[in-house]
Chain A
Amino acid sequence: MIAGGDVEQFGKTDFEQLKNELLTMGGYVEKALEEATQALIQRDASRLENPERLEKEINRSHVLIDKHCLNLLAKLSPFATDLRRILASIKINSDLERMGDLAVNVSRNVKFYLTHKELPVDKDFLLLISEVRWMVKNVLDAFVSEDENKAEEVLKRDDVVDSLRHKINDFVRQIMKQDSTAVDSGVDFIFIAKNLERMGDHATNIAEDIIFILSGDDIRHGGLVNEKP
């Protein structure tokens, strides 16, 4: 027999370890987002320390994963899927790190907001939170299960999140026009929505990287790289 499982692939455990490290980091991001947004919904400031604590773990993972990828490049001189996997892991690592920062931003925005006048967290705001959390959770699931369809589902939600953010901005602007005492809270809301939407953008970047690992297709910017100049 020529191809197949007779020979253990050199570096296979390294790739499994890399995947686990990224998933652990993704888990921290997911948790940081959950804590920051639940603090908003439940007006519970006690949860706001968690994102800051988790960010330290995220930063530790960030450095560790880059180091691991560097070692793998040097050790394996990889090709094909292995090469794409390492390149994409470096990018996913960077996206997750930014998502950690953004979760902390949300947490700080919420902290300010909780000292300001209370505004209604309306259904669009709740929907934005649940959509972004869905994107983060599912992009990590797509990464674990190497599921291209799931990654594509995540990509489709980006437009939904963008449009929700615009709706929230309009809604908050109206409130601020009518009630000058709500301006501080309104600005907090605009920032929270912006940071959540940015997290969704990073989740779509990761979804694109997953598709790149699995198919080799670079679909970023509408597949620009495949177009003739």
Chain B
Amino acid sequence: MTNLVEVNNLKAWIGEQQILKGISLSVQHNDVLAIIGPSGCGKSTFIRCLNRLHEEIIGARVEGEVKILNENIYGSTVDPVRVRRQIGMVFQKPNPFPSLSIYDNVAIGLKLAGIRRKSALDEVVERSLKQAALWDEVKDKLRMPGTSLSGGQQQRLCIARALAVNPPILLMDEPTSALDPISKAKIETLLQDLKRYVTIIMVTHNMQQASRVSSKTAFFLLGELIEFGPTEQIFTQPKAKLTEDYITGRFG
């Protein structure tokens, strides 16, 4: 099977400080990859490199190769804005556009891409909200502001917004850490369903969550990839002592 994402010797800096020290890994279609590791290990930087968001930080620099669907997104002719538009990210705190309705929060990506036909937009909004398991809760109030929803609903709205452009991968940076247990459980269930449509790469501090939702797990420490493998193996029989120590709470 060909790799959907192939990362080769990825290095990242902010100013003089090197955050990532040569990460190589590959992700296949319909994988759910969990990135775990203590604060400051480079997890978030890593996923921000997968849609060229990292270089938005002043003084940030990236070296190495990230191939998505066989295209090196750091190629000289690649427009970073196009990459970011294609590969959405869901953050820790839900961030719907405050001035936009539920409908427009989902449709905005398509509108920016020049799609104006109402029937096409309606179709995508409905599909995306259904994929994000939010449709039934909002179908009668699509013109209400996105911010009128609860925290858990807002996060699912952000997932719907990311899905609307039909991305090959969905990046998530601690997507449930600001949510209550019920909203958290809803998102986790949703991820199980979503992996049919999209490959998910998520950063999480919650080890139970990583073990529940992901098919592969990568453990980062001090900017290095310590261990990468099937989640079941990482959480029951890790190969590296550092992984064992981290997941059993000996440090971190």
| Chain A bound to chain B | yes
Which residues of A line the B interface, CB within 8 A? 2-4, 6-7, 9-11, 76-84, 216
A3 touches B245 (CB 8 A): yes
Select one of B221, B241, B247, B251 contacting A79, CB under 8 A. B247
* Chain B residues with CB under 8 A of A80: 235-238, 243-244, 247-248
* Chain B residues with CB under 8 A of A4: 251
B249 touches A83 (CB 8 A): no
Q: What residue in chain A is nearest B210 (Cβ atoms)?
A: A79
* Chain B residues with CB under 8 A of A2: 38, 221-222, 251
B251 touches A7 (CB 8 A): yes
A79 touches B222 (CB 8 A): no
Which residues of B line the A interface, CB within 8 A? 38, 207-208, 211, 221-222, 235-238, 241-245, 247-251
Chain B binding surface, main DSSP class: helix
Chosen A-B contacts, 27 in total, with CB atoms closer than 8 Å, are A2-B221, A2-B222, A3-B241, A3-B245, A3-B251, A4-B251, A9-B248, A9-B250, A76-B249, A77-B207, A77-B208, A78-B248, A79-B211, A79-B235, A79-B236, A79-B247, A79-B248, A80-B235, A80-B236, A80-B238, A80-B244, A80-B247, A80-B248, A83-B235, A83-B236, A84-B237, A216-B237
Q: What residue in chain B is nearest A83 (Cβ atoms)?
A: B236
Chain A binding surface, main DSSP class: loop
Q: What residue in chain A is nearest B250 (Cβ atoms)?
A: A9
- How far, in whole Å, are A84 and B247 apart by their CA atoms in the complex? 13
B250 touches A7 (CB 8 A): yes
Q: What residue in chain B is nearest A82 (Cβ atoms)?
A: B248
- How far, in whole Å, are A49 and B249 apart by their CA atoms in the complex? 47
* Chain A residues with CB under 8 A of B238: 80
* Chain A residues with CB under 8 A of B208: 77
- How far, in whole Å, are A78 and B247 apart by their CA atoms in the complex? 8
* Chain B residues with CB under 8 A of A79: 207, 211, 235-236, 247-248
* Chain B residues with CB under 8 A of A76: 249
* Chain B residues with CB under 8 A of A7: 250-251
* Chain A residues with CB under 8 A of B237: 80, 84, 216
* Chain A residues with CB under 8 A of B222: 2
Select one of A6, A10, A84 contacting B249, CB under 8 A. A10
Q: What residue in chain B is nearest A10 (Cβ atoms)?
A: B249
The 9 closest A-B pairs by CB, nearest first: A216-B237, A79-B247, A79-B235, A82-B248, A80-B244, A3-B245, A9-B250, A10-B249, A3-B251
* Chain A residues with CB under 8 A of B207: 77, 79
- How far, in whole Å, are A10 and B207 apart by their CA atoms in the complex? 15
Smallest distance from the beta carbon of B209 to chain A beta carbons, Å?
11
Q: What residue in chain A is nearest B239 (Cβ atoms)?
A: A216
- Most chain A beta-carbon neighbours within 10 Å: one of B208, B245, B248: B248
